[in-house]
Structure 1
């Protein structure tokens, strides 16, 4: 007797590759049946493991059975838990302070669960916090952004980017605005650009300026003829 290979290919939630997944539990668990007449529905639950990175995921298949006279059951939908990442953390994420890591971790969790109102509100919170750190709590968002431009911490173009995200986040926080997937993607791209500029690029420039001054002092001048 030949035992069939029960491995199936899915997009892994961890390594993001199309990988074979093997059952990591002893068979499937069947949920309750529902439906009326000749059509009924049920779910199967199975724990799968990625062959590439060994990540474990719960796979839920939604089945519909049109009845013995029409054909066998077929899958109408498949869900995975945890869900696929909506947004990957940037490489510099571990270098953020614990406070910012906590805020952004909640934003990423909201995005993975398609909670875009919560994500937009969290983005607004993170931006407000970083602006207060740079120039103090001087009032409205517009005032803070203008001060960042005055101090040449950001450019006028950055101001336009920043205000677009802040306005969207404020609309979510105060008026229940739910950004689309496309709008949320734009918000994340802009936010990470601003954060990298304020938290890392500035520090890198200051460090390089210090090194340049040290180099200039150590460089011998021209000898007088």
Structure 2
């Protein structure tokens, strides 16, 4: 098997401790802004692609929308399943493999849950699987890092969390945006990495278009402001052709 960093890092306790600050309040505020923009009708169905522990899926289901979350991490899905109800379910799934077709009104891929794979072809396959999962005219939302913002804002962060001490750094190395994470856990020191292809705004739009979508709008932050090059995010709203 290829060295796919996400297969190990996402199943560690350290990953969930580090990102625990990504709390329900942040998820609630982003989902509120997104729903205000998308204006889904009652009963609209959502697919949360690469959902992690399901913080966005949970917010959607609590607003009455039937939601399915999928993720490669068995650890994350095991945790998320504690939240399941009639409107919310979770499955372990690799987005490079086909899943339910023509089922959903909306598909979301949030918090830079894209760009993990080695080849452009794998990413295009993932996008086409998302396209197939949507009903005709269904809406896809992709939330990714803005490469320009990363290139101008590389820094080192030291994050003490209880008895653990994290050091993170993010930079563009070749074709990738790479985040190095060092964990000091008592006498134990562990190093992990997160790495995504450094897609530009234009490259993301081109790839999503190739997968069979029309681009409706592009936004630059979680307040859904129209995208500018200095914004931290690239949030693309697209519609299935």
| TM-score bin (small chain) | under 0.3
Higher-Rg member (1/2): 1
Give the TM-score of the pair, scaled to structure 1.
0.20
Give the TM-score of the pair, scaled to structure 2.
0.19
* Structure number having the greater helix percentage: 1
Bigger RCO of structures 1 and 2 (CA < 8 A, at least 6 apart): 2
